Amino acid sequence: MAKYGEGDKRWIVEERADGTNVHNWHWAERDCLEWSRARLSSLLAGLTVLDGEGGLTLRTVALDKLDGEAYVNIRKGKVIPGYELSLTLSWEAEAAAAASESGAVKVAGAAEVPYLADENADEDPELRVTVRGDETPLARRAKDAFLARGKPMVLEKIREFVAAMAKGGPAKDELESKKTPAKVAPAAPGAAPAKKEEVVAPAPAAEKKKAKGKDKEGFKTIEMTEKFYCRSKDIYEILMDENRWKGFTQSNARISREVGGEFSLFDGSITGINEELQEGKLIAQKWRFGSWPDGLYSSVRLTFDEPESGVTIIKLKQTDVPEEDKYGNSTVVENTERGWRELIFQRIRGVFGFGI
């Protein structure tokens, strides 16, 4: 055993004399706030929303404000973005004033995103549109036009920013430069070519044993066990009743109670199909987020056990959860697990009084 204060060298990553963080073994954090300001400004400023249609010209002007924090953590090539931002974008509209000596009439406004965060990377943020000054007929018309035409444009640009952060933000070029191809040692002059080794295929039984218990590459399995002070049929009913879902999640839900029927949760963010249903005992579903690659479903299996009257144990197993969504965000598994625990199980306990 090492003496106090010395540590055991087998467990210490020593500092190099040249200061190099080899393979990003240590956590390398990069502040991305100013990069985010520049990136969002270039994406959002100067967008033409309307170019004379209906006698109205409407465009974004500038990113007036960006508050919060943004950073990227990198370790061994794995990118973990983190950001909590609020931003305000100014816009202006101009319309020809019919039969007026004053010429064109202008109106200005703002588009505000109060909360843009990595934890909601798979969802579009809230966007509020306001008018600066009096609510004149032109102001209302410009605001409606921005909501109809400008809002989708702004959200699309924000999705581009989210995807860029997921790839490393300002550290992306640095990561790419470190991905140097492996060098192959040249053969000695006159040396005979290397003999190809014969590869023996593993026996089917051995291959199956090796694969057992391992996730497919790029996918993970989520498992958790939760305890509730209620009958198993009660919590089964809550999870299969769309009105109760709407109550404890404060979001829209559509749930079929038939095998083969479809469901939609959290305003359509999660969709899927019922594969097997046993009242008070089992819910098995194909399950996906809208932000996952198209056509990709995980398998969810919720088993209900009532070891004693009034106590129910739920075991969740969700397989084939992708490590990244279609935008390149690598927090899918973490966000999915947190969603089950905080947005579903804990809320059920709090709303229906099934204990902590």
- According to CATH, what is the number of the domain 28-173? 3.15.10.20
Q: Tell me the β-bridge partners of 254.
A: 264
- Same topology between domain 28-173 and domain 219-352: no
User: What are the tokens at 276?
Assistant: 């097997």
Q: What is the pTM of this model?
A: 0.46
Burial of 110 (0-12, 13-18, 19+ CB in 10 A): middle
Angle between helices 151-166 and 33-44 (to 10 degrees): 150
Per-residue pLDDT, 104: 57
What torsion do the CA atoms of 329, 182, 215, 262 make, to the nearest 10 degrees? Answer: 40
Burial of 181 (0-12, 13-18, 19+ CB in 10 A): exposed
**What single string gives the DSSP state of each residue in 210-239?**
HHTT-PPTTEEEEEEEEEESS-HHHHHHHH
Q: Where are the domains of the chain?
A: 28-173, 219-352
| Residues 6 or more apart whose Cβ sits within 8 Å of residue 350 | 248
Helix (H, G, I), strand (E, B) or coil at 321: strand
Per-residue pLDDT, 218: 87
Per-residue pLDDT, 2: 47
Contact 81, 171 (CB under 8 A): no
Report how far apart the first and last C-alpha atoms of the chain are (Å, whole number).
42
CB atoms within 10 A of CB 184: 6
Helix (H) or strand (E) holding 115: strand 104-117
Per-residue pLDDT, 205: 47
Contact 82, 33 (CB under 8 A): no
Per-residue pLDDT, 75: 65
The class of domain 219-352 in CATH terms is alpha beta
Backbone angles phi, psi at 332, to 5 degrees: -60, -50
Contact 89, 77 (CB under 8 A): no
Helices of type H across 167-273? 172-178, 204-211, 232-240, 242-249
Question: Tens digit of pLDDT per residue, the chain (356 long)?
Answer: 445 445 444 444 444 444 444 444 445 677 888 889 888 988 998 899 998 888 889 999 999 999 999 888 876 667 788 899 999 999 999 986 553 344 558 899 999 999 999 888 888 899 999 998 888 888 888 999 999 989 999 999 999 999 888 888 877 655 555 554 544 445 555 555 544 444 444 444 444 444 455 667 889 999 999 999 999 999 999 999 999 999 888 888 999 999 999 999 988 889 999 999 999 999 999 999 988 998 999 999 999 999 998 899 999 999 999 998 888 888 889 889 999 999 999 999 888 888 75
Contact 273, 256 (CB under 8 A): no
